[in-house]
Structure 1
Amino acid sequence: MNETYKYPENYLLFNSPLEVGLRILVLLSQDSTTIFDIDRLVIFDYFILHANDVDNEQINLHPSLPLRSSEIIIRRKLISEGLDLLVSKGLVEKVYTDKGIYYRANKLTAMFIDLLKSDYYKDLNSLCYWVTNKFKSFTTPELNSIVNENIQLWGGEFEFESLVRGNYE
């Protein structure tokens, strides 16, 4: 009997803690000496997904959807869950400091990342490298300022689309 496996209806990979966690793992792998707090990871994750919003010379990892700026608000919970998954598997370290909780890559991070070879990974890795190098000297308040100054523009190009297209349907 030749049966195909069916995923449960509630099985989601896109925007799951696993998907977001793997993206964060690639980001953390860029510099094993730097620690990142969750605020910085949330902003960097948005910058990676929608790099063209931040720099016109970059390509987006994911499509530019209407109202995508709201992603930055909901991303925190997903990233937190993804980080918990990565920590539970020993792929990243949780670092407790006087200033809060931070995360960093470890030896297993690099070993796991070395196994990835897909085109998606190559694009992701390139964007993670760009983000960490372009924004590593920015403080978290400076990154928040960039987000606050631009959040209404990101995804806003679709705001009046129905007026331009007209109501022909």
Structure 2
Amino acid sequence: MTSNIENLNYYSLFNAPLEVGLRTLVLLSYVKTNDYDIDRIVIFDYFILHARDIDAEQNNLHPSLPHRSTEIIIRRKLILEGLEILVSKGLVDIIYNNAGIFYKSNKMTDLFVNLLKSNYFIRLKNLTHWAISKYGEIDTQQLNSLINENVQLWGGEFEFEALVRGNYES
């Protein structure tokens, strides 16, 4: 019989839906005026994780690994799974309207986020505040343009992302 601690190796917490969901929860707790769709959440998750790619004065939340641009593709599924957890626990509201599916914080969001006090979450909250303050009022299309314009500056590993999105020009 294995202990719960031994099972932690089997059930990775890093980049699992729960961890990604908690980051999304913190993000949505800082968004007070708008609802965010999945595209916007994916962009801001990347900005928060790899803040130094966007602003040299910021530190990344996670290490910058090679080919990190593929995280944008992979993270979408993880974020959706994390959002399912958050919605099922009443920590985030889901809004359906003619423009699509959006996610919004509620009273429980802030109550829960205020309980997160580890060094990791303090750094996460600081980076989230920075990202929302700097880019929160920019529409999603402009954010995508910012990413596309700076892809080469952030490293050649983004070329795969361009291929997947069909934006590759030879």
Following TM superposition, by how much is the alpha carbon of 1:92 offset from its aligned partner in structure 2, in angstroms? 0.2
Counterpart for residue 106 of structure 1: 106
Q: Would the alpha carbon gap of residues 63 and 99 (structure 1) be closer, same or farther in structure 2, given more than 3 Å must change?
A: same
CA–CA distance in structure 1, aligned partners of residues 4 and 96 of structure 2: 46
Amino acid at match of 2:36: F
Tell me, yes or no, if structure 1 residue 42 matches structure 2 residue 37.
Answer: no
Looking at structure 2, the residues matched to 45 and 38 of structure 1 have their Cα atoms a distance apart, in angstroms, of: 10
User: Is the Cα–Cα contact under 8 Å of residues 67 and 154 in structure 1 kept in the other structure?
Assistant: no
- Aligned residue number for residue 116 of structure 1: 116
**CA RMSD, Structure 1 to Structure 2 (Å):** 1.8
| C-alpha distance in 2 between matches for 1:64 and 1:136 | 23
Rate the CA distance shift 1:69–1:152 in 2: closer, same or farther, 3 A. Answer: farther
1:87 is matched with which residue? 87
Structure index of larger Rg? 1
Paired residue type of 2:112: F
Match of 1:96 in 2: 96
Whole-angstrom distance in 1 between the partners of 2:82 and 2:4:
29
2:20 is matched with 20
CA shift, 1:155, in A, is: 4.2
Indicate if the aligned counterparts of 1:96 and 1:102 stay in contact, CA closer than 8 A: yes
Task: State the alpha-carbon separation in 2 of the partners of residues 125 and 71 from structure 1.
Answer: 21
How much identity, in percent, do the aligned residues show? 60
Runs of 4+ residues over 6 Å off in structure 1: none
1:129 corresponds in structure 2 to: 129
What SS does structure 2 have at the residue aligned with 1:29?
A: helix
**Aligned-partner residue type, residue 129 of structure 1:** H
**Deviation of the 1:73 alpha carbon:** 1.5
Could you state the TM-score of these two structures normalised by the residue count of structure 2? 0.85
Given residue 34 of structure 1, which amino acid in structure 2 is its aligned partner? N
Structure 1 residues 136 and 13, CA gap change in structure 2 (3 angstroms) = same
* Matches of 1:5 and 1:48, distance apart in 2: 29
CA drift at 1:4:
7.4
Note the residue ranges of structure 2 that are not aligned, 5 or more in a row. 158-170
Mapped to 2, the partners of 1:115 and 1:60 lie a distance apart of 23
Specify which structure has the higher proportion of helix: 2
What's the counterpart of residue 166 of structure 2?
Answer: none
Secondary structure at the aligned position of 2:94 is classed as strand
Q: What is the CA distance between 1:48 and its match in structure 2?
A: 0.1
SS at match of 2:73: helix
Cα 1:4–1:136 shift into 2, 3 Å: closer
Aligned residue for 1:62, secondary structure, equals: coil
- Report how far residue 10 of structure 1 moved: 3.2
Instruction: Tell me, in whole angstroms, the C-alpha distance in 2 between the residues paired with 1:129 and 1:120.
Output: 14
1:10 aligned partner, one-letter code: Y
What is the deviation of 1:156? 3.2
